[in-house]
Structure 1
Amino acid sequence: MNYLRSATLAFWTAALPLAACGQAPALTTFPVGTATVTVSALATNLNTVWELVWGPDNYIWMTERYGRISRVDPATGQVQALLTLPDVTPTGESGLLGLALHPQFATSPYVYVVYNYTASGALKEKLVRYTYSAAAGTLTAPLVLLGNIDATTSHSGSRLLVLADGTLLMSTGDAQQQPQAQNTASLNGKILRLNLDGSIPANNPIAGSPVYTFGHRNPQGLVQLPDGSLYSSEHGPNNDDEINKIEAGRNYGWPNVEGYCNLPAEATFCAANNVREPLTTWTPTIAPAGLAYYNHPAIPAWRGGLLLAVLKNATLLHLPLAAGGQAVGASTGYLSTFGRLRAICVSPQGKVYIGTSNRDGRGAPATTDDRILVLENRAYAPSATRSAAAPSFDIFPNPARRQATVQLSALTTRLAVCDLTGRTLRELRPTGLAAQLDLNGMRAGTYLVQVEGSAGRVTRKLVIE
């Protein structure tokens, strides 16, 4: 029978100090209020990073426009390629776009992606669900949930977002067919809402239709706040890029309205068609892309605001929210020396991950582009009490074969070995400062070792050869 054995090995505590976590070299630093943010590169030599999602497995899930889906280890930067889509059409702005993960990923390991493909000589767009195998490191069993959406080599959207109610949003561009954005029978120029099995929610604004909002030109950012508020970033034509507050059933004006309802014809249309004006606009345009919400104490000046990755103006914008989220204050720009920025996600530790898009045909790629950049306050510690009590540990050897030793910095309440979906495979309650893991019978692959103490949980990777 496989088991975990605990033993007190006091002499190891003095002889083998815990390994310090290495930090990547700083590329630059900049002040944000009283904090100093350090920028480093997590991964390099990528190709048009389109989406970054922080997964429940504590890995970053990434799409690249030419069709590759990967997991990225935030500790090492190692890129684990899972699948390159066989039918993706990466032409112009088209290709593999947004990604989302099922909210119950441990029991329903589904990965949702939206991408462009070619059917009967025409460019189309579809939403596909894949099933992830942590043991095999693969995505299989593609299931098309929504397809045959008109597309062109520009204005395809498309961001995916799982809402707190367990439904899925998908943004679509107008595919250069501007009048279709106002046609609720068309799926172009919309934000769509589906159940996670692809069916249509019974409480959608239009019965039997996936259309959630309409009148969009090319929305490429979606985020939901803890209070349920939804925001989107949207590309304008040569004027009026927008940040919108998304409300079910509302019309966002395109192509009859560009930006605010501030021209006579626009004001008439807005009054007659329930148009929701943007919170803010940019003229000249900046090309807004990925959108995230930041509310972590690591960078206090960003708390409670939106972070926007910008392509054309090649910057990261902080957008403070005001009036209960009904307005956006004056923006502040950062990170202006790394080229086009498209993807963004925030980790539970308050680190911000940015994907560059310099190999998309419109940038000037550096030798290591495209990159995932990490923005962090390296001086931040949660609290003196928590830092002192937080469990820490080392595993050796790693990679391991039949057994490994976990060396603890302090007594802990629980030690577990989990698969990459978070499912507990083995567990014990250590009674000393070291625990021996019997790995016999476990398949080769990557696992997670979790140590829990009074201050929280710490996870490290274990590779079994």
Structure 2
Amino acid sequence: MRFLRNATLALWAGGLSFGAQAQAPVLTTFPVGATTVTVSALATNRNTIWELVWGPDNFIWMTERSGRISRVNPTTGQVVPVVTIADVTETGESGLLGMAITPAATPAAYWVFVVYNYTDQGQLKEKLVRYTYADGALANPLVLLGNIVATTTHSGSRLLILPDRTLLMTTGDAQLQPQAQNTASLNGKILRLNLDGTIPANNPIAGSRLYTLGHRNPQGLTQLPNGNIYSSEHGPNNDDEINKIEAGRNYGWPTVEGNCNLPAEMTFCAANNVREPLTTWTPTIAPAGLAYYDHPAIPGWRGSLLLAVLKDSKLTQLTLNNTGSAIITRTDFLTTFGRLRAICVSPEGRVYVGTSNRDGRNTPGPTDDRILVLENRMYVTSTARGAGSFSFELFPNPASRQATVQLPAPNAWLTVRDLLGRPVLTLHPNGTTATLNLANLRPGSYLVQAEGPNGKSTRKLVVE
């Protein structure tokens, strides 16, 4: 196991390259600023792709709504089935939904969390299950949360593991609109649990899994390195939303649709600590998977949310301001591949998008559903550029609350990543010296990546 961990660190330190992407046939291209983004198909003939997650094994993990979980080789596109969950009920919009993955005790064994609908005594329900992945198989399913009221629509559900090793889970209102405001109900909420299913002691309501309330059907969830959390949410016939998620806040549904701009809404918002959305769409677009992009491969997308859209069949870039408190532009791409539901970003800056044309809401093409790869094929990784010519100092190391980075030149980006490659902190210092605030990071090993005009370099950092 020690050799595997060291080998993984060496690959990350070599520029986060885990094998070159095969040059699949080009389906189309489009510009993002001065960058040409190439679109190709990584995998085809799937059935309603619901989730894509970049795994700790450097494979793409995929759920399909019928109950199948697979690992997809990002270089060859080979789809390796892992398990088909027998008690998944796929009906209407229900079935196997969101997934999240985190390491357990060793690099070769980790936990896989999934949420899905099932039938209990003739009634449709929803549950959260944790599996252990080891030796190529998922085993030891443990139900962390079950018996959630469900229906064939408005089930959510995305999962997100936070750096403090708690889990967020979105739930829809299951067409029981008043339950979104009922703190005793699990519907129409974002829930927060420990990874063993227990309730965190610092949740907004003591003894409750509730993290936020007043949601209709949130189907996208992501966190930025600065800790900001964002969700996409389906509105009724108006006001699809992108929300900044803040613990304990109320998001208004069903009294408030979109912003607090009607008399009854303004009264409710003032009395109930309602957080207004960052942006809305009327007519609705059906927003789904949400990811954060901050990689030099496609500079025009840096600092943006990328949103997979179902009804309007597009990928939308949502450019954030410096603090992440506002969306300043919305730009649409990828409008010719039908319904888009799932999205993930690799450590090498490639974007993987899953289509959802076999979900009963569209006419599928002959190779649907597909995982599409969006990439800048002209981007050269640091290994090929000779990253050894670009170095920086990092001290103290080990560090506790903060560390100092001394750069060889200004205008560099700093990214701190965990050993899964997930960014946990980003910084763009003005000069050649920067201070990393480590107070919110758990003790352990991290990788500090510095990239400037002259190259890129990575160093290991130990946080005590």
Question: TM-score, normalised to structure 2's length?
Answer: 0.78
Task: Compute the displacement of 1:110 (Å).
Answer: 1.0
Determine the C-alpha separation between the residues in 1 that align with 2:381 and 2:109.
Answer: 32
Which consecutive aligned stretches of 4+ in structure 1 deviate over 2 angstroms post-superposition? 19-22, 385-390, 454-457
Is 1:275 paired with 2:271? no
Determine the C-alpha separation between the residues in 2 that align with 1:387 and 1:164.
Answer: 32
Is 1:113 paired with 2:87? no
| SS of the residue 1:360 aligns to | coil
2:56–2:102 CA contact under 8 A, matched in 1: no
1:103–1:166 CA contact under 8 A, matched in 2: no
Q: For residues 80-229 of structure 1, what are the structure 2 equivalents within 5 Å?
A: 80-104=80-104, 106=107, 108-133=109-134, 135=135, 137-229=136-228
Task: Compute the displacement of 1:323 (Å).
Answer: 5.4
2:170–2:189 CA contact under 8 A, matched in 1: yes
1:308–1:317 CA contact under 8 A, matched in 2: yes
Q: What one-letter code is carried by the residue in structure 2 that aligns with 1:36?
A: T
2:21–2:74 CA contact under 8 A, matched in 1: no
* Uncovered stretches (5+) of structure 2, i.e. residues with no partner: 4-18, 389-418, 421-455, 460-464
1:51–1:343 CA contact under 8 A, matched in 2: yes
| SS of the residue 2:247 aligns to | coil
Q: What one-letter code is carried by the residue in structure 1 that aligns with 2:155?
A: S
Task: Compute the displacement of 1:165 (Å).
Answer: 1.1
Q: What one-letter code is carried by the residue in structure 2 that aligns with 1:230?
A: I
Q: What one-letter code is carried by the residue in structure 2 that aligns with 1:124?
A: K
Q: What's 1:42 paired with?
A: 42
Task: Compute the displacement of 1:102 (Å).
Answer: 1.8
Judging changes above 3 Å, is the alpha-carbon distance between structure 1 residues 22 and 353 closer, same or farther for their aligned structure 2 residues?
closer
Count of matched residue positions in the alignment of Structure 1 and Structure 2: 376
| SS of the residue 1:268 aligns to | helix
1:386–1:455 CA contact under 8 A, matched in 2: no
Using the TM superposition, name which of 237-246 and 107-116 deviates more: 107-116
| SS of the residue 2:255 aligns to | coil
Task: Compute the displacement of 1:32 (Å).
Answer: 0.2
| SS of the residue 2:266 aligns to | helix
Is 1:387 paired with 2:397? no
2:20–2:75 CA contact under 8 A, matched in 1: no
Q: What one-letter code is carried by the residue in structure 2 that aligns with 1:359?
A: R
| SS of the residue 2:329 aligns to | coil
1:178–1:254 CA contact under 8 A, matched in 2: yes
Task: Compute the displacement of 1:351 (Å).
Answer: 0.2
Is 1:285 paired with 2:284? yes
Judging changes above 3 Å, is the alpha-carbon distance between structure 1 residues 20 and 323 closer, same or farther for their aligned structure 2 residues?
closer
Determine the C-alpha separation between the residues in 2 that align with 1:198 and 1:347.
Answer: 28
2:52–2:354 CA contact under 8 A, matched in 1: yes
Q: What one-letter code is carried by the residue in structure 2 that aligns with 1:210?
A: R
1:157–1:219 CA contact under 8 A, matched in 2: yes
Task: Compute the displacement of 1:48 (Å).
Answer: 0.3
Task: Compute the displacement of 1:107 (Å).
Answer: 6.3
Q: What's 1:263 paired with?
A: 262
How far does the alpha carbon of each residue in 1:46-92 deviate from its partner, in whole angstroms, 9 at most, with x for none? Answer: 00000000011100010000000011000100011011010000000
1:46–1:370 CA contact under 8 A, matched in 2: yes
How far does the alpha carbon of each residue in 1:313-343 deviate from its partner, in whole angstroms, 9 at most, with x for none? Answer: 0000000002511111221000000000000
Determine the C-alpha separation between the residues in 2 that align with 1:351 and 1:50.
Answer: 19
How far does the alpha carbon of each residue in 1:165-185 deviate from its partner, in whole angstroms, 9 at most, with x for none? Answer: 110000000000000000010
How far does the alpha carbon of each residue in 1:160-205 deviate from its partner, in whole angstroms, 9 at most, with x for none? Answer: 0001111000000000000000001000000000000000000000
Q: What's 2:416 paired with?
A: none
Q: What one-letter code is carried by the residue in structure 2 that aligns with 1:110?
A: W
Is 1:241 paired with 2:244? no
| SS of the residue 1:181 aligns to | helix
1:110–1:130 CA contact under 8 A, matched in 2: yes
How far does the alpha carbon of each residue in 1:238-284 deviate from its partner, in whole angstroms, 9 at most, with x for none? Answer: 00000000000000000000000000000000000000000000000
Q: What one-letter code is carried by the residue in structure 2 that aligns with 1:387?
A: R
Task: Compute the displacement of 1:220 (Å).
Answer: 0.3
| SS of the residue 1:312 aligns to | coil
Q: What one-letter code is carried by the residue in structure 2 that aligns with 1:273?
A: N
Q: What's 1:351 paired with?
A: 350
Determine the C-alpha separation between the residues in 2 that align with 1:36 and 1:79.
Answer: 28
Determine the C-alpha separation between the residues in 1 that align with 2:190 and 2:273.
Answer: 16
Task: Compute the displacement of 1:141 (Å).
Answer: 1.1
Q: Percent identity?
A: 74
Q: What's 2:9 paired with?
A: none
* Uncovered stretches (5+) of structure 1, i.e. residues with no partner: 4-18, 391-420, 423-453, 458-465
Judging changes above 3 Å, is the alpha-carbon distance between structure 1 residues 31 and 21 closer, same or farther for their aligned structure 2 residues?
closer
Task: Compute the displacement of 1:388 (Å).
Answer: 3.6
Task: Compute the displacement of 1:108 (Å).
Answer: 5.0
Q: Which has the larger radius of gyration?
A: 1
* CA RMSD, 1 decimal: 2.0
2:22–2:76 CA contact under 8 A, matched in 1: no
Determine the C-alpha separation between the residues in 1 that align with 2:112 and 2:296.
Answer: 30
Judging changes above 3 Å, is the alpha-carbon distance between structure 1 residues 265 and 107 closer, same or farther for their aligned structure 2 residues?
same
1:65–1:96 CA contact under 8 A, matched in 2: yes
Task: Compute the displacement of 1:20 (Å).
Answer: 8.2
How far does the alpha carbon of each residue in 1:115-144 deviate from its partner, in whole angstroms, 9 at most, with x for none? Answer: 0000010000000011112x2x22111100
Q: What's 1:16 paired with?
A: none
